[in-house]
Structure 1
Amino acid sequence: MVTIHDVADAAGVSISTVSRVMNQSPSVSKKTQKRVLEVIRKLGYVPNAAASKAAHKHNKYIGVLFPDISNQVFGRILQGINSVLAPLGYNIIICETNGELDKEIHFLNILKEKQVEGYIMASVTIPQDHLMWIHKNRRPLVYVCQDLPKFDLKVPASSVNMDNKQAICDMVHFLYHMGHHDIAFIGGPLSDPSAGKCRYDGYMKGMKECRLQIRQDIISFQEAFGIHDGYQGMHEIYEHAMLLPTSVLCACDNMAVGAIDFMYDNSIQVPRQVSVTGVDDSSLAACIRPSLTTIRHATNDSGVKAAQLLLEYIANPDFAGTAFKTPYQLLRRQSVRQLMDGSK
């Protein structure tokens, strides 16, 4: 069994530093935090209390509920989850929910009957139906890629997610410093509090901080986050815009691919005429041409952290839970053009 001493030795830090990293202390530098988290992931370390309790279980199951199991983002998260739970003898039961509330509640109940010890879940929204179910059934749950909403009753739940608002704000600043002033936005449904509303809020925040004009004719919201939705969003902007934007910030990579597809069909050159950015760093992002400038997040480490938080709950029912913010990285590729002096 890997101990905290093993992690400290491998990372070249003290045991107290490892403890501070796992407790998200701001006193640890980002460089040290990254090194320690990488060692934790590689060694598959979990806190002793959780590991000890897990070791004495016979039938150990964890439910994982994702809206789309073909999505590479969830694949990366699942690898991280498995790297922590598999060495402890846990069996992972994976359910595909399509982001539908009825299916999510159905699978939660089915998994409860199978006596799973906890859940890790990605959900389009987190309605009160979820939180009431968790409160009633007292099954620990960790959300990934979504933020916990405020809820009056105490629930054994945590979240692992990037700061979507700040990440998109950073992308606006990046485009601005590349000379872009007319920045369009193609977003998903605002009913999705994380990938929908927070990313739109980040766009608005960035535009205001850069003192750029917010043009409603180059903002489009779609019902989902697919390639077709990005195509439709770019079509709407093309039809309604009084002046074509110099860049389009899309709420995810799939939408960005759809936007690029529309522009190809209409002889608009990317990035010479219009630059495009996405979010996720999906497998498509590096493969398409031009390769897509995007934001990488939800890596293996996100799954590792989600599994570790779940084990904390299993070991200690009084664990208070947390909203853990994962790091993200802006990746500049071919789809963004540098404009000289802000001109087209």
Structure 2
Amino acid sequence: MATKYNKVKQAIKSSILDGTFQPHQKINSESELMKQFDVSRHTVRLAIGDLVTQGWLYRKQGAGTFCSEKTDETIQQVGLNQKNIAIVATYISDYIFPSIIRGAESYLSKQGYHVSLFSTNNDHEIEKKVLEKILTQQYDGVIVEPTKSAVHNPNINYYLNLERLNIPYIMINAYYDELEPLSIVVDDEKGGYLQTEHLIELGHTNIVGIFKSDDIQGSKRMKGYVKAHRHHQVAIKPNNIITYDSKEKATKPVNDLYNILTNSIEVPTAIVCYNDELAIKLLDVLREKNLQVPEDISVVGYDDSFLANVSEVKLTTVDHPKSDMGIKAAEVILELIHQQQGERQNKRDKVTSVVFDPKLVIRSSTQSVSNKIVNQELLFE
């Protein structure tokens, strides 16, 4: 009983928060809700009664039940007389994300803002719950790292509702293309191009590219990989592009690379990796195949993370602004908030998206094919 009642209540609340039901719009009738959720009229009336008491809905005698305006009753106060920003990241404590978050949090704190951190774990259902929480609390603005930005997002309505409620938001690292939001990103296509061109200029023509397919960063880096091959008129071998999604990241890149190294007549001489984390993981595969980096195979990472310097092989990689991205995101969201609150006299100064220009950081994980040939000749002398 309690489970069914909560299911109905949460579904109605979600439809309000994602904008399906607008203020003063009539919601589904009791009979429709009974049919939709396969519950009794008593269960429906309990759920609606609770939402009326909490200020989410109101009744009109003889007309039905309607969606209320957003009021203090439906907004949980994050902090009285406190300025609040929500930061939503796919991960909070992993990889380069702490540096990005620290940059934003430090800047916002100095400006007198309290920061609430949320993690989606790159999962749409968790993102939905986070957005619902944000919409039921009092935030001045939101900084969001999108979840699986390269695939359809079922939570788009929540972002549209943020816009309807005049809550400014910006996106970092990636963006949902269909929303055309303000964003703070790296030119990932150029980054993928730089990774690949570096290897081609070293004489490599058999280059494996491994990219994450459900994040827009991965699709753009793969585009840069292809673009570099086209520009330098180097053919891409049919099996040399490996893609994987968030659920597959622990196994598919490792297994697919192992198969290529085992079954290819011509073993690849270089690998372009989606990020440094993947590059470090693949070093184990290369060791298992008795391939040394860079003597037998060159490897390029992405992000210039702390991992690039902790392994026995120092990674050639593409830099990521990390803390600077966080600071820039904080600056932009505050500018939007100030404009929203009418604190900027000159509103002609339009706030725009920011694209950081990537640069290649060359270390010891790459070398020219000619050096590889010399090393092989020395082995046989």
Q: Which amino acid aligns with 2:305?
A: S
8 Å CA contact 1:179, 1:342 repeated in 2: no
What amino acid does structure 1 have at the position aligned with 2:321?
A: A
Correspondence for 2:196: 172
- Asked whether 1:60 is paired with 2:83, we answer yes
Closer, same or farther: CA 241–333 of 1 in aligned 2, 3 Å? same
Q: Do 2:209 and 2:241's aligned partners in 1 also have CA atoms closer than 8 Å? A: yes
Distance 1:341 1:283 in 2: 28
- Higher RCO (CA-CA < 8 Å; seq separation 6+): 1
| 3-state DSSP of counterpart to 1:124 | coil
Q: Which residue of 1 aligns with 2:277?
A: 254
C-alpha distance in structure 1 between counterparts of 2:250 and 2:368, whole Å: 26
Match of 2:354 in 1: 324
Root-mean-square deviation (CA, aligned residues, Å) is 2.3
Determine the C-alpha separation between the residues in 2 that align with 1:263 and 1:233.
12
Distance verdict in 2 for CA 1:229–1:288, change over 3 Å: farther
1:144 corresponds to which of 172, 192, 213: 172
CA contact (8 A) 1:165 1:198 kept: yes
1:144/1:206 CA distance change after superposition, 3 Å: same
Q: TM-score, normalized by length of structure 2?
A: 0.69
Match of 2:231 in 1: 209
Residues 1:176 and 1:102: Cα distance change in structure 2 (over 3 Å) = same
Q: Within 2, Cα distance between the matches of 1:61 and 1:129? A: 26
User: How many angstroms does 1:77 deviate by?
Assistant: 0.9
Separation of aligned partners in 2, 1:200 and 1:181: 16
Decide whether the 8 Å contact of 2:127 with 2:147 is kept in 1: no
- Pairs aligned (count): 282
Q: Distance in 2 between matches of 1:341 and 1:285?
A: 22
The equivalences for 1:176-255 within 5 A come to 176-189=200-213, 191-194=214-217, 196-224=218-246, 226=249, 228-255=251-278
Q: Give the residue type in structure 2 aligned to 1:200.
A: M
- 8 Å contact from structure 2 (residues 123, 148) kept in 1: no
1:82, 1:198 → 2: CA distance? 28
Matched to 1:94, the amino acid is L
Question: SS at 1:316's partner residue?
Answer: helix
CA contact (8 A) 1:217 1:242 kept: no
Partner Cα distance (1:259, 1:252) in 2: 11
Deviation at 1:130, TM superposition (A): 4.1
Q: Which residue pairs with 1:270 in the alignment?
A: 293
Q: More displaced, 95-104 or 126-135? A: 126-135
Q: Name which one, 1 or 2, has greater alpha-carbon Rg.
A: 2
- The yes-or-no answer on 1:162 pairing with 2:186 is yes
1:124 partner amino acid: T
Q: 1:98 to 1:112 in 2, by over 3 A?
A: same
User: Partner letter of residue 131 of structure 2?
Assistant: L
Aligned match of 2:158 = 133
Q: Partner letter of residue 72 of structure 1?
A: Y
Q: Distance in 2 between matches of 1:240 and 1:166?
A: 31
1:116 is the counterpart of 2:144: no
User: In the aligned structure 1, how far is the partner of 2:245 from the partner of 2:153?
Assistant: 21
Give the structure 2 partner of residue 12 of structure 1.
none
How far apart are the structure 2 equivalents of 1:321 and 1:241? 51
Distance 1:254 1:233, change over 3 A: farther
How far the C-alpha of 1:68 sits from its partner, in A, is: 1.4
The answer on 1:89 being equivalent to 2:112 is yes
Question: How big is each residue's C-alpha offset from its partner over 1:184-237, in whole Å with a ceiling of 9 and x where there is no partner?
Answer: 111112x3222x211111110011111111112222112238564542342132
Normalization by structure 1: what TM-score? Answer: 0.76
- Residue 101 of structure 1 corresponds to which residue in structure 2? 124
Paired residues of 1:226 and 1:254 also in contact (CA < 8 A): no
Quick check: 1:60–1:89 contact (8 Å CA) kept in 2?
yes
Q: Once the 2 structures are TM-superposed, how far is the Cα of residue 335 of structure 1 from its aligned partner?
A: 0.8
Distance in 2 between residues matched to 1:95 and 1:105, nearest whole Å: 12
Give the conservation status (yes or no) of the 8 Å contact 1:286–1:292. Answer: yes
Amino acid at match of 1:66: A
| Amino acid in structure 1 at the alignment position of 2:367 | R
Structure 1 residues 274 and 200: alpha-carbon distance in aligned structure 2, compared to 1, 3 A threshold: same
